[in-house]
Structure 1
Amino acid sequence: DYVETNYNRATDAVRQPGSSWKLFVYLAALEAGYTPEDRVVDTPVTIDGWSPRNSGGGFAGEMDLRSAFAYSKNTVAAQLGNEVGF
């Protein structure tokens, strides 16, 4: 409640950006020719020593890009970013 406290979470919070970067990775993938129907695989991945995890720790296997985005799959976003650029 901004009336009770003038703390601006957008500019003052010291937090990791979380999933906010995924939008840009998926946009880059679409611009590179991916479509929402393209199949991707939600599986464990390590990129330059970094091993992203999904919320809950599980993996869904093969799915379409639309579902990977809707379910905010970190491993798929990491794989796409590695391929098309972060």
Structure 2
Amino acid sequence: MPATWGARSLGVRSPAVSRRAGRIRPAAPDSTAVELAELRARTRSPLVAVVERRDGDPGRLLGVVTATRLLEHLLQTA
């Protein structure tokens, strides 16, 4: 997997977010597949929110990476 690979290359989709979305932990757009998998496993969530943050900004939701999409990507690059 290239060092430049990031969450954006997964084809992040804009989600319909439910009330439970507060439990989804955010990842940066440049997070690696391993970082996304670790965050997903640690939080026991099928989703990882991809959030772009700037100085003092609470962040802008770019989309989510599902467990299925993450696994598909990892299998393609193996």
TM range (shorter): 0.3 to 0.5
Please, what TM-score do these two structures have when normalized by structure 2? Answer: 0.32
Please, what TM-score do these two structures have when normalized by structure 1? Answer: 0.30
Greater percentage in strand: 2
Q: Of the two, which has the highest radius of gyration?
A: 1
